[in-house]
Structure 1
Amino acid sequence: MLRDTFKHKGKRQQLAAIVEAKGVKDAKVLEAIRTIPRHLFMDSSFEDHAYQDKAFPIAADQTISQPYTVGFQSELLEIKKGDMVLEIGTGSGYQTAVLCELGAKVYSIERQRELYRKTKLFLSKIGYRPKHLSFGDGYKGWPEYAPFDKIIVTAGAPYVPKPLLAQLKVGGRLVIPVGDKVQVMTLFIRKSAKEFEKREFGDFRFVPLLEDRN
């Protein structure tokens, strides 16, 4: 049962206020957090916790990211309506929904087949229509649709995959958590064909980004 009640909506207002208090100021990002029924993206046994600012387990040993982290990454991307955005790690689809709310054309890749199937079905059920969802290896990016205006990686990467930098438009932004046990949120802005500006924004914790070893 996909129920979204006044109580849920009230809790979302509170959640957006918490995320804003922690430093996310982008009005459109906060509005997306107020709009999207996060409880529906989680196992019903976690429903009471859906609007806490915490990460929670979902299928395939993955987690739904902390709302503050989703807000922080989304704000760093500076999405404009119509931007082509590559998302590495569809996961529960919550970040995907935020990108859709921001007006992005979303191309999203998920490495876990079970999660990919479940999320693809679920997003269309609640009315979110990413341009393309794919099951595959995010380290390779998505060359067929490149270049992208923005790229977001939603899992911890031990290094920055070169194909992702290569698939970014000049002027484009890549947001990626880099590191093994603890990740540093890192922003790359493509200044020219060969030149990237790099900025770092503190420590976060993510589940690891899985690479296809075959």
Structure 2
Amino acid sequence: MTTLADQRIGRMEFLLNLRRRGITNAAVLRAMDEVPREHFVRAEDVDAAYSDQAMPIPCGQTISQPYVVAYMTERLAVEPTHRVLEIGTGSGYQAAVLSRIARAVTTVERYRTLADAAKIRFETLGYANITVVVGDGLEGVPEKAPFDRILVTAATETVPAALVDQLAQGGVMVLPLGAPDKVQSIVRLTRAPTELVREDFIPVRFVPLLPGRAQEL
């Protein structure tokens, strides 16, 4: 059984590891410190909640390793005035981190089971600036557009056109781009007046971004 002292030590090491690996943005580090990751993993994984690894969650999905969450959040360059769209709620951890920095977060999940569980976590933790939508992530949430920032937490081979349309001018989208069964790259797209400016970053592996809303879960 993990003691409170063990948890405190684990969280200190967690933050030190993020700094060692190059995460420097103070707002991102503060958000990672504020969000209790143990609330977003399965009960059997609570003791390892702050280890730097991805973990399984229901519906065949995963919660990304903390470094990747911090890295993608840092690349997104979120400001306190921003409205953020996240595609792929999962357990809600990434949305929770974003909510500690942004003005408002809308997160889309295709599995109702995951969406409902995430809503309960957000309510329990008092994260009132997150809206959870059950739907098709590839379609985004056009009625709430435009968004200053869009974060996609599942892999796609091509940039979803509907999400580009929902990105504000000068806005930024970060997503894992590449075939789902291969190594993908974290890509940042900035919407300029006449084009999307692309930057490629680290290799990653994410579950695929699937079309439609799940029928069973």
Superposition TM-score, scaled by structure 2 size: 0.92
Aligned to 1:158, what secondary structure does the other structure show?
coil
> Separation in 1 of the partners of 2:130 and 2:120?
14
Could you give the per-residue CA deviations for residues 14-56 of structure 1, whole angstroms, max 9, x where no partner exists?
1111112111111111111112110111112111111111000
Structure-1 residue corresponding to 2:149: 150
Q: Could you tell me whether the CA contact under 8 Å between 1:109 and 1:133 is conserved in 2?
A: yes
Is the contact made by 2:111 and 2:213 (CA closer than 8 Å) also made in structure 1? no
SS, match of residue 79 in structure 1: coil
Q: By how many angstroms is 1:105 displaced? A: 0.6
12-21 or 144-153: bigger deviation: 12-21
8 A Cα contact 1:12 1:35, kept in partner: no
- What one-letter code is carried by the residue in structure 2 that aligns with 1:116? A
Contact 1:8–1:37 at 8 Å: present in 2 too?
no
Paired letter, 1:75? E
Q: What secondary structure, in the 3-state scheme, does the structure 1 residue paired with 2:150 have? A: strand
1:5: how far off? 4.0
Contact conserved, 1:19 with 1:53, CA < 8 A, in 2?
no
Identity of aligned residues (%): 40
Structure 2 contact 122–130 (Cα < 8 Å) conserved: no
TM-score by length of 1: 0.93
2:88 partner letter: G
Number of residue pairs matched?
A: 211
Distance 2:98 2:8 in 1: 19
Please tell me the root mean square deviation across aligned C-alpha atoms, in Å: 1.8
Distance in 2, Cα, partners of 1:76 & 1:65: 16
Q: Is the contact made by 2:136 and 2:213 (CA closer than 8 Å) also made in structure 1?
A: no
Q: 2:205 matched to 1:199?
A: no
Instruction: List gaps (5 residues or longer) in structure 1.
Output: none
Map of 2:183 onto structure 1 = 182
